[in-house]
Amino acid sequence: MNYRELGNTGIMISEVSFGTWAIGGSWGRTSDAEALKSLEYAIEQGVNFFDTADVYGDGHSEELLAKATKGKENQIYIATKFCRQGDIFDPKNYSYEQVSAYCEASLRRLNREAIDLYQIHCPVTEILKDGRVFEVLDRLQKEGKIRHYGVSVETVEEGLICLEYPNVKSLQIIFNMFRQKPLETLIPEAYQKGTGLLVRLPLASGLLTGKFTAEHVFEADDHRRFNENGEAFNVGETFAGLGFQKGVELADQLTWIGEGRKSMASAALRWILDQKEITCIIPGFKNVKQVEDNLTTLETKPFSEEEKQAVQRFYEENVKDYIRGPY
């Protein structure tokens, strides 16, 4: 395992880490036994950072992480998120009283004394512009309930707003071969300011594994079925904002990235880690095999400059005009 510093916090985290949305729910059938086995396997392989949220399975993924990391609290870092249990448009949802209640509930589920990284979970832009929520997080930090805080953002604009606040230690962004806009300004500016970058949806909800056909049907409780067009939340959180059919078509044109590498998926993840500014990727998983597959990224050869340019051209000429939603 390789480790990179989380911004300027001094915390070294595994460059391949994992998100726990899938084991909490909204990705089809899950098994707690398999999830715990997968978490244990990841930790054995040197993974020391996991991302979760209070709404993943209504807190269930936090509880699973508590079980998996019991006795290892000082070695395994956990990032969780808040605000989506309430009305994300209501300023009261970001008050000290409400955020403190969210925080204490997460601490109980995680069975920890402090949260390593507490993130605002894709708030509306106006809340970030207002800025009072950062004063609330500063207060929780002084109280010792959280060690550091960051923001999970939907757009480049939101990320740039957050960078104006010096205590924001990390940004969680959607970034992959199908969603390269952050490379233009957000990624270099965050790096310059010493802000960590966590990459969610690195495989564009599975499109960049190359395993789907246009005929594939997802389970009813899988967000890739019920949120394909942004019916439940931001459309960018599903297939990076591409429609499924278009996404499969584009993925078929990118299979060349897997040639001479472990797989198309490991190549897509490697491309992200080839950007020195990125702290870590946080792909999801539901079983040990998926953890194993994602960890093959560590043995996957880097992209040459010619290949990087080809991936950028492909995005500019074939992909970006089809991305929907705030970006």
Does the global pTM surpass 0.95? no
Query: pLDDT value at position 216?
Result: 92
Q: How many residues can be counted in the chain? A: 327
Query: pLDDT value at position 137?
Result: 98
Tally of CB atoms within 10 A around 216: 11
Q: Give the model's confidence band at 28: pLDDT under 50 very low, under 70 low, under 90 confident, else very high.
A: low
Specify whether the CB–CB gap between 45 and 310 falls below 8 A: no
Mean pLDDT of 186-199: 97
Query: pLDDT value at position 26?
Result: 52
Query: pLDDT value at position 32?
Result: 87
Report helix, strand and coil shares of the chain as percent, to nearest 5.
Answer: 45, 15, 40
DSSP per-residue string spanning 247-277: HHHHHHTTGGGGTTSS-HHHHHHHHHHTSTT
Query: pLDDT value at position 95?
Result: 98
Mean pLDDT of 138-142: 98
Residue among 103, 139, 101, 98 nearest 119 (CA): 103
Tens digit of each residue's pLDDT (9 = 90 or more) over 212-231: 988 899 888 888 988 888 88
Tens digit of each residue's pLDDT (9 = 90 or more) over 233-282: 888 889 999 999 999 999 999 999 999 999 999 999 999 999 999 999 99
Query: pLDDT value at position 231?
Result: 86
Tally of CB atoms within 10 A around 221: 13
Query: pLDDT value at position 237?
Result: 86
